[in-house]
Chain A
Amino acid sequence: MRLEPRAHAPLAIRLLAPVGAVVAALALCALLVAWTGAPVLRAYGLLVEGAVGSRFALTETLTRATPLILTGLAAAVAFRAKLWNIGAEGQLYMGALAAVVLGGELLNLPAWAVLPLALIGGALAGGVTLLGPAVLKVRFGVDEVVTTLLLNFVVLLLVSMLLEGALKDPMGMGWPQSAPVVEAAELPKLIERTRLHVGLLLALGLAVILWLIDTRTIWGYENRAVGANPRAAAFAGMPVTRVMLRTALLSGGLAGLAGAAEVCGLKGYLTLDLSPGFGYSGIVVAMLAQLHPLGVVGAAVFIAGIFVGADAMSRAMPVPNYIADVLVATSLLCMLVAGLLARYRLRRS
């Protein structure tokens, strides 16, 4: 057996690939569910119901999807340019940190400026965080995978330090958490009495804008060329280094924005458990979407649904909610294989 590249992958195959991957992942994880003795179909039924079964479930899923769209876009944008940003988690926290500072009472900014500044500041903080590893990559040839991964730990420690120090909420009963942001820094709710906030629209808008940039502008044109073949891009006269750094700012910025939006739209303050691994799940989202900005939206909603649904399921059954993480990891690996089958044909030799 050998693999032969397809001349062109029809749209149907490209759409089918993630569906097939998800089905395969669900089938594999059914074994783990069955191991608990719980009825598999009912468990999955509860999962789906918990994710989309009611208005409340749906808004919860979409709330959860908001940061995932942004971290998914962060990964997709970076991976397209072959910039292996595995540090979205750290960039997210940097964004959240900036938002808490800018949106806090300390600075006393005019009310109309607080929210935009908190969001833009969050994005900038995330972008600058990735700029470091990107500069090390283009300047010294340091592999960005390891540096971005290590920076995740550094950032978390930094956040922990500030939450126990300068940013500690005096009213927080001693918990390591920041003071809440002022009311003007809060993103309005989309639907009353739910947690769904305007951050979702922001994320959707950015997905569309990124798609347009990617396909219509010379920016996107340069990004695609540099990602596919940096040597040929440099030979043709494209500014490869600048594209790399620009991509780093953008990717880190999206992750930072995810953190800022979580603070301004959902939590209101910063704790060390702001993100249950949104940065890492973003990688899965991007891969399921085959790095397509619009696909990221669908993939993020799906992954969010798994997490929200699994929580509901584990409340009703003796299946640990870590099944969601296993499902997500398995989906990623299955998606890699499915993506391969979409690009290549299996031929008997």
Chain B
Amino acid sequence: MEIAQDILNILLSAAFWTAVLRIATPYVLGTLGELVCERAGVLNLGIEGIMTLGAMAGWMAVYQGADLWTGVLVAAGCGALMGLLHATLTVPLGLSQHVTGIGITLLGTSLSYYVYRLVLPQASTPPTITPFQPLDLPGALAQTPLTYLAVLLAGVVAYVLYRTPVGLAVRMVGENPAAAEAQGLSVTGVRIGAVMAGSALMALAGAFLTLSAFNAFFFNMVNGRGWICIALVVFASWRPGKALLGALLFAAFDAFQLRLQQIAGGVLPYQVFLMLPYLLSILALVLVARRASYPRALMIPYRKGER
């Protein structure tokens, strides 16, 4: 009974819902980014590295004196560049999207660490910046601007995909590139554009970590969030609205387990709780895998006029 009461207390506290929105933000942005790439038919396993680079680049820009929004733009720009690299290798060259993505992740991560160490050779305690502050709103609405941006972007991505010509073009190249080409679209162009835009969103997810959630850059700070976003895209059946919902659900679970740790911490080691989000992602994949209606051309390279 006591446990039930504790659980209820958690769910009713404003602090819990504040935490949910905060935890959800990078997942929302990352999932949207991956969704845009995959809707165009390109799996982007570079997400983990792109998030790391976004986190490092955004933070570094601010640390070097830029204002916070410039930091956000720098992160997005770095993400788009990584997206361009991924897209160049996988779209016109048609290389394996799996292996290229892993390469992008290794590159993004190692490059971030290299640059960070180069600029700050012997920082024992990581230097900090002044991050985005929560808006002066009541209860769980007291979030930083980037959280609001993330929710807004979910709407924007949904609108663009379903209500604009360019969104239709993205969906078409992800479903049947040959048909898109027969309608006069440049499959290569649309795919590269989508991967760049999606990668910019991933970098924003990373920048949120260093510019909003924390105030410093740590090694391993992305910690598998990118891979969870990939699972969330499947869970969301490649729909932006469901992606937002999925990220919130996931964050609610994560926030809940963090609090549950404090209650049940004596009984179970904390690692058990930390494992749950990853196991939950795997479970979610198993549940939806059978009826997932993935973009038909996902992971299939398209070469024009191939015989």
Contact = CB atoms under 8 A, between A and B. Distances in A.
A149 B285 CA distance: 13
A119 to B, nearest CB: 27
A147 B274 CA distance: 16
B199 to A, nearest CB: 15
B106 A2 contact: no
B90 to A, nearest CB: 9
A158 B279 CA distance: 12
A59 interface: no
B241 interface: no
A3 interface: yes
A24 B96 CA distance: 20
A84 interface: yes
A136 interface: yes
B118 A153 contact: no
Interface string B212-245: 0000000000011001101100100000000000
B269 A161 contact: yes
A194 B113 CA distance: 31
A154 B103 contact: no
Given A142-B289, A153-B224, A165-B269, A326 B114 contact: yes
A151 to B, nearest CB: 8
A151 B227 CA distance: 11
Contacts of B113: 320, 322, 325
A160 B85 CA distance: 36
A149 B231 CA distance: 11
Contacts of A333: 85, 89, 100, 103-104, 107
A283 B96 CA distance: 13
Interface in B245-278: 269, 271-272, 274-275, 278
Contact of B93 (A86, A147, A340): A340
A337 B93 contact: yes
B275 A336 contact: no
A332 B99 contact: yes
A217 interface: no
A94 to B, nearest CB: 14
Contacts of B289: 136, 140-143
Nearest to B113: A322
A320 B118 contact: yes
B285 A320 contact: no
A336 B96 contact: yes
Contact of B282 (A147, A157, A158): A147
Contacts of A49: none
A35 interface: yes
A333 to B, nearest CB: 5
A32 to B, nearest CB: 7
A150 B286 contact: no
Given A143-B289, A154-B278, 18 more contacts: A36-B118, A136-B289, A142-B286, A145-B45, A145-B98, A149-B224, A150-B224, A150-B282, A151-B278, A151-B282, A154-B275, A157-B272, A158-B271, A322-B110, A325-B110, A333-B85, A333-B100, A336-B103
28 contacts: A3-B93, A3-B303, A79-B99, A136-B285, A141-B289, A141-B292, A142-B289, A143-B285, A146-B227, A146-B281, A147-B282, A150-B227, A150-B278, A157-B275, A158-B271, A161-B272, A164-B271, A284-B103, A320-B117, A326-B107, A328-B110, A329-B107, A329-B111, A332-B99, A332-B103, A333-B100, A336-B89, A336-B96
